[in-house]
Chains A and B, each alone.
Chain A
Amino acid sequence: MRTVEVFFVIIILLGAFAITTQFAVLPSPSQAFGTNLRELSQSTLETLDAQGTLSQTVFKDYNDDAWGDLQKALSASLPPNIVYNLNVYNLSTNLDGVATYHLEHSIFDANLGADSDASSLLVTSPDVTFTQDPQKVGESTDNPITLYILNCSDANGWWITGYTGQSLAADVYNLLSPYFTNTMLVNSTYELGLLLNGTLLPDGVESVNNAVVVNTFGEAVPIPDDYCEDGLNETEGFDPTHDIENGGTYAKYFHTLGSLTREHNWTWVSIVGYPFYYVTNTNNPHISSSQNGYGIYGMDDVRQVGINAFLQGLDDAHYSYDETGTATEVGVVNLTPYVRDDRCNYYGIYPAPYQTSSRAITEDILDDYDLIANQELFVRPNDNPVTLYIDESDYIPVTTYRHTERGALTAIGLTRIPDIRVTALALLVYYNPTIYKTVFGASGTSVLVTLQLGQQGGT
């Protein structure tokens, strides 16, 4: 009886073995190796086009000898056991922007086996030049706008860790000058004084009206000597009646800046942190010896009064010393889908998609100073009781605030280190200049070349 049971066990064992071997078909260890055909194909296409030969050939007539030369080149350059199939697709785009591919021509040397792989290369015609011309800001209204970039050699920056105002000025110039008819660097606080007086003008420009002024010194704003204590315009810059324990305040200077922004219809740009928090002038005797509490000399703090004074000036209100806090920390914020997916691609500017906003500005200023917030670049965080932040959703991380009558303020309420690309993107989103591009998908300008390789004779 036990023999019968054992035979049953043996049958079960053999049955299990048979079923296992039937379904568990393991590859041979030698099959682990096989040339990566896709990357070999990619390197073949790139080397054939290294000197433009492939680009020239695929746009030629099919009866041209160049096609024969290309076939010989493929045969000569690929190992003998590799077979190929090269296809050329014409690329065109319809009015809706949908790209379509039509097979135009093929060359091959043998039928591909079951094991094949392919790569592709988008080739543009050597007879076509692709261009990208940005529309100048204000051009559409026959009102060209000048871009002024503060590049003062006698000023220090704060919250621009890792940079200087001058290096950021160069970055702003490179990013934004193509979009403006005139771009002018303001190289000293003296020149800034000329700008505030309305006399710093590029050749052929009659007034400073409608300009954009980018302050690259972070939370500090350069101040000309005339607006400092004992200066010619002291009454427009210095307020001795407040912050008396520190010898007075320069909050009035920011009120003046706000008034001038309104008068000339400027857009004032603060690239990082709390706007208008300090004034800076490393040569003025009243400021050069004072420091901001962190060892940066040539700087005097105005604190949160600064932005309030600026907004009062922008709103054509009288100067009033207001210590109300306007900005606060709201934590990590993300680019809005529209900005990230549309505007970034359109202008080719890609800042980090999520950043920390430590100086987001309360939306209360919209009602208090008759402002309208333009497209916000970052999504406001939801109120989160877990965090220490209060009413995060009421604060705007980054946008341009346009006064209902004249003037605007672009405030980048992000933390240091500054990402100057956000500044550029904020201005471009605000002014929305058009970019005139040659369309890559226009018929006859681009073709897609695919090279499929197969391996014969196994591995």
Chain B
Amino acid sequence: MAGATIDHMISLTILIAALLVAMMTYNGLFATAIDYDRNRQVANKAIDIINTICLSPGNPTDWGEINGIVSCFGLQDPRVGGYSLSPYSIMRLNTGSQLVEYPKDSGVFYNNISTNCGDAILTPIGDCVNYTTAAELLGVNGTYGFGVDITPTLNVNVSQVTTNPHLTLNVAVSGSGLPLSGATLRYYLFHMESGSPYPYITTHPPNPPGVAEIGSSGSVDIEFSDVTSGDPVYAFVVYASLGGVNGVGYHANNTIADDTFVVPLIDGYEDGYLNLIFAHSWEFLHPGDEATANYNASFYTLASDFQLQRCVIPNSVGLVNSTAESPITTQIPASETGILIVSYNASDDLGSIIVPWGVGALGVSASFGGDPTGYDFVATELRQVTIDGISYHVKVSAWKLGS
């Protein structure tokens, strides 16, 4: 009798153990399936988001050129369609990068789409679309997080080789780690020289742009025989193209270490024009140089075939000082992509800044969105787009919020 009972207990124990093992195994299978399904949803959401961003201009369609309320989010360029992004809408994104307050202690903050102050015209964050608003407009607020990285397809690196006996620059073009031999270059050099009281700018070559070709090593030296000063101040812009892929690079050289004496800020949109303020960097960079600066500003619109055309702007020369009481203002066309070049004399030295209006003009990168750090699964999607004819990659990352 006792033997049968023991026999019964042992068999029951083994049975329960086998059941537990089976249940754990099936639980693992189910958990794997559920994880897969959840991740699949995230991956699909990433596709939804990138399609919305790349293939919809949003509403109003020209929201990047006006300061109205955005009721639908998208970055497509409505003038071009397809996989083409608006160069202006991207500049209205609050990228969460370095903010500057102008005037000092005014509570008015400006946003830069890039990480460095002076790499782009600063936009008041009140006019920007922030991450929360974009998430609400995309219908993912509170359920999914996302991030957008917009980067040029081609890396166009410019470096100064020598200034003796004349200025020589090296341009290297690569994409996906490969040197792009045979790429055609179109370039401009804006040479700044001291004047009284304002500096002046000469363009080499005047127009059309200079042309060169990248050699088999992936780079080429470009010489400027008429720029012979020992330490020239200049801004160099080069557009590279090959087989339908286009890129842009630029390089500036100043004799002033702190090269942000003059900082352009957007002061609003008016009748198709962009109101700009030339602020003094002392307002942002404390401690900084308080010296006044005589400036000479030019705006060049980017025409077809990457030719630059000078556009007359008001107050193209003037004096910028460190008080914001009577700021210098100017206007540029809101719907014309281009670059703003400002040369200035300060403390007997010569400096310059070069900033784009429209990200494509200088191949500026932009990052926008939340931080995926700490999430188990992040899906990414990649598309190729053009912005003002320049080739870009758009990468969207998406992740599930909450449990």
Interface residues in chain A, defined as those with a beta carbon under 8 Å from any beta carbon in chain B: 2-3, 5-7, 9-10, 13-14, 16-17, 20-21, 24, 26-36, 39-40, 42-44, 46-51, 53-54, 57, 65-66, 68-80
Q: A31-B36, A32-B42 are in contact. Are A66 and B243 (CB under 8 A)?
A: yes
Interface hit among B229-237, B281-289, B326-334, B380-388: B380-388
Q: Does B40 contact A (CB under 8 A)?
A: yes
List residues 213-265 of chain B with CB under 8 A from any CB of chain A.
242-246
| Pick from A28, A44, A79: contact of B176, CB under 8 Å | A79
Q: Does B19 contact A (CB under 8 A)?
A: yes
List chain A residues, Cβ under 8 A from B154.
Answer: 76-77
| Pick from A9, A32, A43, A66: contact of B39, CB under 8 Å | A32
Query: In the complex, A78 Cα to B154 Cα: how many Å?
Result: 11
A72 x B32 contact (CB < 8 A): no
- The 18 listed contacts between A and B (C-beta, < 8 Å) are A10-B18, A14-B18, A26-B32, A32-B38, A33-B379, A35-B380, A36-B47, A39-B47, A46-B83, A47-B385, A50-B82, A50-B386, A66-B243, A69-B243, A75-B178, A77-B153, A77-B176, A78-B176
Chain B interface size, as a band, is: 35 or more
Known: A40-B382, A66-B243. 17 other contacts (CB 8 A): A3-B11, A14-B18, A14-B22, A26-B33, A32-B36, A32-B377, A35-B381, A40-B384, A43-B384, A47-B384, A49-B244, A51-B244, A68-B182, A69-B242, A76-B154, A77-B154, A77-B176
List chain A residues, Cβ under 8 A from B40.
Answer: 32
Q: Does B303 contact A (CB under 8 A)?
A: no
List residues 361-403 of chain B with CB under 8 A from any CB of chain A.
377, 379-386, 389, 391
B32 x A43 contact (CB < 8 A): no
Q: A5-B11, A6-B12, A32-B42 are in contact. Are A47 and B391 (CB under 8 A)?
A: yes
Write the chain A residue with the least CB distance to B180: A76
A43 x B25 contact (CB < 8 A): no
B243 x A72 contact (CB < 8 A): yes
A70 x B383 contact (CB < 8 A): no
Interface residues in chain B, defined as those with a beta carbon under 8 Å from any beta carbon in chain A: 7-8, 10-12, 14-15, 18-19, 22, 25-26, 29, 32-33, 35-40, 42-43, 47, 51, 54, 80, 82-84, 153-154, 174-178, 180-182, 242-246, 377, 379-386, 389, 391
Q: A26-B29, A36-B47, A43-B83 are in contact. Are A73 and B243 (CB under 8 A)?
A: yes
Closest 7 CB pairs of A and B: A76-B175, A73-B243, A32-B39, A53-B244, A48-B244, A69-B243, A29-B35
Query: In the complex, A16 Cα to B84 Cα: how many Å?
Result: 55
Q: SS class of chain A's interface: helix, strand, loop or mixed?
A: helix
Write the chain B residue with the least CB distance to A52: B244
| Pick from A9, A33, A72: contact of B15, CB under 8 Å | A9
Write the chain A residue with the least CB distance to B245: A73
Q: A3-B10, A10-B15, A72-B182 are in contact. Are A24 and B244 (CB under 8 A)?
A: no
Query: In the complex, A14 Cα to B20 Cα: how many Å?
Result: 12
List chain B residues, Cβ under 8 A from A32.
Answer: 36-40, 42-43, 377, 379
Write the chain A residue with the least CB distance to B376: A29
Write the chain B residue with the least CB distance to A4: B11
Query: In the complex, A27 Cα to B141 Cα: how many Å?
Result: 29
A28 x B32 contact (CB < 8 A): yes
Query: In the complex, A16 Cα to B26 Cα: how many Å?
Result: 11
Query: In the complex, A68 Cα to B242 Cα: how many Å?
Result: 10
List chain A residues, Cβ under 8 A from B15.
Answer: 6, 9-10
List chain A residues, Cβ under 8 A from B385.
Answer: 43, 47
Write the chain B residue with the least CB distance to A51: B389
* Most chain A beta-carbon contacts within 10 A, residue among B33, B174, B176: B176
Q: A43-B54, A53-B244, A77-B245 are in contact. Are A35 and B83 (CB under 8 A)?
A: no
Query: In the complex, A76 Cα to B384 Cα: how many Å?
Result: 12
Write the chain B residue with the least CB distance to A75: B178
B29 x A71 contact (CB < 8 A): no
Query: In the complex, A82 Cα to B19 Cα: how many Å?
Result: 46
Q: A2-B11, A50-B389 are in contact. Are A29 and B377 (CB under 8 A)?
A: yes
List chain A residues, Cβ under 8 A from B32.
Answer: 26, 28-29
B242 x A72 contact (CB < 8 A): yes
B244 x A71 contact (CB < 8 A): no
B54 x A57 contact (CB < 8 A): no
Write the chain A residue with the least CB distance to B15: A6
Query: In the complex, A44 Cα to B15 Cα: how many Å?
Result: 60
List chain A residues, Cβ under 8 A from B33.
Answer: 26
Query: In the complex, A14 Cα to B391 Cα: how many Å?
Result: 58
B182 x A69 contact (CB < 8 A): yes
List chain A residues, Cβ under 8 A from B182.
Answer: 65, 68-69, 72
B82 x A46 contact (CB < 8 A): yes
Query: In the complex, A40 Cα to B396 Cα: how many Å?
Result: 12
Write the chain A residue with the least CB distance to B379: A33
Query: In the complex, A17 Cα to B25 Cα: how many Å?
Result: 8
Write the chain B residue with the least CB distance to A70: B243
Query: In the complex, A399 Cα to B84 Cα: how many Å?
Result: 45
